[in-house]
Structure 1
Amino acid sequence: MNKITTRLTAAATPTAPALVLRPWTEADAIHLVDLYQDAALRRWTSAGIDDLTDAEQWVLTQQRGWEAADRRSFAVLESPDGRAEGRLVGHVVVKGVLPGSESAEVGYWTAAYARGQAVAPRALEATAEWAFGTFADAGLLHLELLHQVDNTASCRVADKCRFPLASTLPAAPPDFPHDGHLHIRTHR
């Protein structure tokens, strides 16, 4: 695999360390198994990570997305000094950035032990700014954020990151068994 060197940062808050966002590596897989024991994470995400083999496959899928240039996934890590990588606290992704496409989708999750530390909004904001800065010349005008209507935490994150609610989408089983919210952020 080619080494992807994109690295983003998000500033510390008064109560939480800075964040480093970088592409997923094989070494991250072991941490995913523990993180996916969280019932809330399993409820809101589509990945089913039950063991190290599942985690390694998931990481490989993220790496292949970078290589195919259609999915850019970042591991989100605490950074006590603003540079070094610490504990894994989340994930953020930009999906579907294709030449000539005006929109792409973003998604994220936060580890249970890091919730309440503004990990998702800081990581999403850094990623949105990066995506618009990197792909605006290729035609990117909008980022879409989708979540189930009963995921109120994701609504709060979307609001904080300037993704206003655009519409409510009807359920489309089996892939989308519940109604969803579509939030859209437009590049300035």
Structure 2
Amino acid sequence: TNKITGGSADTVLMSAVKCNGDEANIAECTFQFGDEASCISNSRASVFCHQIEIFKPIERGLVQLNIGHLGKDKWRWLCGDNNDKNTRDVLCFTKTGTRNSRILPSRFDVSTSSVRDYFLAYRRLKKYKPHTIFYWPVVKFKCLGHEVSIGQCELKESYNCTQLAVIDCRGSR
């Protein structure tokens, strides 16, 4: 768990969870709870019973991706540096149910080093979420390709990003 998706400061509800694999839900597993539940901070895990929201305003079939932050009305830009096909496909699957992404031509890049481009993108997205501020730092992400939610991918905050994530989920041409 991490501060991007929440949970790092939450109370530990269960620990030492052991399941056989044939349980219908986690309550059928053995575990410690209440005052007996404890966990060292670097080995905590969170269970998300919902999809981590990805906000994507659509403009001419293109997708500018942002990630919901801590379940509040705060959004983070997703960094587009070095996103491979597996990572892009998971993001497309999160929003469209298909794993058909393609790389966009460089004319669609939104550079974080260009204040003008950043604020033009911000203004364009503001019409979709008018009371939302997009927070820094950005979120860098890496997926293996089999994930069904971005929460299963590696997520980390970064101030070192050159391109915002803009992908095309319409498939290859």
Band the TM-score falls in, shorter-chain normalisation: under 0.3
TM-score with structure 1 setting the length:
0.25
TM-score with structure 2 setting the length:
0.26
Larger radius of gyration: 2
